[in-house]
Structure 1
Amino acid sequence: MPRSHGACNQTRPDAFFTCTTGDALIPGYRSISIVIAVFLAAGSTSLPREGPLPVPRSQGHGQPAERPEAARTETPQDDGKTAGNPNEDETAAAFAACREALRAAGADFEEAEAMSEGPSCGIERPIRLAELPGGVKVEPAATLRCETALQLVRWMEGSVKPSLEAAMPGEAITGLSQASAYVCRNRNNAAGGKVSEHAFGNAVDIAAFTLRSGATVTIRPVERDSTLEGAFQRAITEAACLYFTTVLDPGSDAAHETHLHLDVKARRGGYRYCW
């Protein structure tokens, strides 16, 4: 086959042409590929060199990391409502279905009278939750929307109890200490600002679990706690986002250093906020 130094030749009209570089024989289509690759590489210089950085979490015991300004509120991506009850559209049929699911799960509760405190607080169909399945006492009994209570039951059965069995074999939860259920107030007990999900019965704060042995597992900063108790708390906190739309723990901010805030706030697009 004819060759020429640093040139391209074609042996016959229907054959591939070939190019040489030094003594190497290179198919012409590979030369074209090299040109295309160089062109694409040049175009890639306009792409961003770095993607978005992950938001930092807590730096340790009681030392929450700095967060972007947009993430400092308890529930970002709000629907813009600052007054009025977002649960007013809950139907009687939806409440009945929730009530039956709660009863079938084995929870002990009673229905209560509708509650209303001004234009922004209240529960149309509240329940008073006294006991979770398996005889777990809720201390004190919690006034909530049925949906909040149902997700609490599902979280306890699906995550908390199995996680405790893995961390502390032979133990069992006999009591759940709640720090706040329904209460008419603003977020983080602030004097102003947006109304808390507690004001709609959508939220519950978990402070501790009482165990069969008499021991107590208290919610606390465990970001760098390598004990099984620390692993237990981290596991149930992460899993809570499978059941609740907002999960805040001691690593979130100073207002939540002693409890888990769990709520069922509905957001556009099914957005969940688990920090």
Structure 2
Amino acid sequence: MRKLSILAILLAATAFLAGARLPPHGPLPQPRPDTGAATSPTPLPDNTEPPAPADVPAPQPKPDVKEPETPAADQPSAPQTEPGKPEPAEPMQGPPLPPGGLKSPQTPAEENKPPAEQTLEEQHLTIEPESDTEHAVCTAELRALGVVFKDTPRIDDGNGCGIDKPIIVSEVLPGIALKPEATIRCPAALALARWLKDSVIPAASAALPEQGRLTTVNQATSYMCRLRNGAETGKISEHARGNAIDIASFHFEKGEDVAVRSRREDPTLTGAFQRTVSAAGCIYFTTVLDPESDAAHETHFHLDVMERKGGYRYCH
């Protein structure tokens, strides 16, 4: 009896749930307490953009873009290229290439040689011009030191050999002869006079007082048109430009001449004198080569005023 009652209750509940339906409308949203009643958005008229959000700036109108100018009749327009493709290279200007392509111009044989292998004729050198003002200042300094010299006409022996404003020096300081006379440029003569006055004479007085006063400076070479060391090829000598002089010996009132020769191991005062004046020469000349430098200078000092970049000097 009890089981029948439970079964009847289950059947009745099932029939009730089957007939139940959802309400036709769900619950309506309630307005937030701080905003009041909800309002429906006002419909926008046709063709109207919705307003932009407050935190995004409104788009600015695009600037006017000028249309490309039409090229003039005599100016071709730029070629159009497809996106992603490189622009074509500009055509080379000039006459058409000969059959077989370009050929290197013929170069004279001497221009293919390095300078060390060129003769004097192959170097195509010219004489360096000298400033009238600088020459006048230099010769005035020579006269102030008591140098005896004379001007001589311009020398041009070709191939770059020559002196624009040469002078001939016969007395390098008062009472000190230069034998034989030397044809050189004024700057070389001025360096020689200063070296003798400030270094050679004081060194001789200290090291060789018993030989008395210096009376003669014997030179071996002044101006001469040739390459360095008299070689057949190579760079032009500073002798060929009037910038150099070779000193062979010093003659004093008493005793023997002091010849310039190898004195590196000479323990005497004569050796000390020669080493001293050789080192001092670099104060006045830009190049000093003494008997210790090489075989070509075993018997003399080579002194020159060659100008080098940065005031560089070569003294050996």
TM-score of the pair, normalised by structure 2: 0.60
Q: 1:203 to 1:96 in 2, by over 3 A?
A: same
Please name the residue that 1:148 is paired with. 188
Question: Which of 269, 279, 293 in structure 2 is aligned with 1:228?
Answer: 269
Unaligned runs of 5+ in 2: 1-122
Residue matched to 2:162: 122
- Residue 273 of structure 1: aligned partner: 314
Partner AA of 2:294 in structure 1: D
Aligned-residue sequence identity (percent) comes to 49
C-alpha spacing 1:154/1:85, structure 2 compared with 1 (3 Å): farther
CA displacement 1:40-62 (0-9 Å, x = unmatched): xxxxxxxxxxxxxxxxxxxxxxx
User: Helix, strand or coil for the counterpart of 2:250?
Assistant: strand
Which residue, 146, 155, 163 being the options, matches 1:106? 146
Conserved 8 A contact 1:183-1:199 = yes
Shift of 1:85: 4.3
Is structure 2 residue 259 aligned with structure 1 residue 218?
yes
Distance 1:159 1:215 in 2: 20
CA positional deviation for 1:87 = 3.2
CA distance in 1, matches of 2:127, 2:301: 23
Asked if the contact 1:115–1:126 (Cα under 8 Å) also holds between the matched residues in 2, the reply is yes
Shift of 1:112: 0.4
Q: Distance in 1 between matches of 2:172 and 2:126?
A: 27
Q: 273, 296, 302: which one pairs with 1:261? A: 302
> 1:240 aligns to what?
281
Whole-Å Cα distance in 2 between the matches of residues 85 and 120 of structure 1? 4
Q: Tell me how large the CA RMSD over aligned residues is.
A: 1.1
Secondary structure at 2:196 match in 1? helix
Which is strand-richer, 1 or 2?
1
In structure 2, do the counterparts of structure 1 residues 246 and 230 end up closer, same or farther at CA, with 3 Å as the change threshold? Answer: same
Query: Are 1:198 and 2:239 counterparts?
Result: yes
Asked if the contact 2:127/2:164 (under 8 Å) is kept, the reply is no
| Partners of 1:152 and 1:129 in 2: CA distance | 11
Deviations 1:115-165 (CA, angstroms, capped at 9, x unpaired): 011131000000000002131111100000000000000000010000000
Q: Secondary structure at the match of 1:110?
A: strand
Looking at structure 1, the residues matched to 124 and 278 of structure 2 have their Cα atoms a distance apart, in angstroms, of 30
Which amino acid is the alignment partner of residue 291 of structure 2?
P
User: 4+ residue stretches of structure 1 with deviation over 3 A?
Assistant: none
The CA distance in 2 between the partners of 1:159 and 1:86, in whole Å, is: 32
**Structure label with greater radius of gyration:** 2
Secondary structure, aligned partner of 2:182 = strand
Deviation at 1:83, TM superposition (A): 4.7
Give CA deviations for 1:4-48 in whole Å, capped at 9, x if unaligned: xxxxxxxxxxxxxxxxxxxxxxxxxxxxxxxxxxxxxxxxxxxxx
Closer/same/farther in 2, CA of residues 83 and 250 from structure 1, 3 Å limit = farther
1:257 maps to a residue whose letter is E
Q: Higher RCO, 1 or 2 (CA under 8 Å, sep at least 6)?
A: 1
Q: Do the aligned residues in 2 keep the contact of 1:85 with 1:200 (CA within 8 Å)? A: no
Deviation at 1:227, TM superposition (A): 0.3
Q: 1:172 to 1:83 in 2, by over 3 A?
A: farther
CA distance in 1 between counterparts of 2:194 and 2:242 reads 17
Amino acid at match of 1:235: T
Q: Secondary structure at the match of 1:242?
A: helix
State the number of aligned residues. Answer: 193
Q: Identify unmatched segments of 5+ residues in structure 1.
A: 1-81
Q: Does 1:175 align with 2:231?
A: no
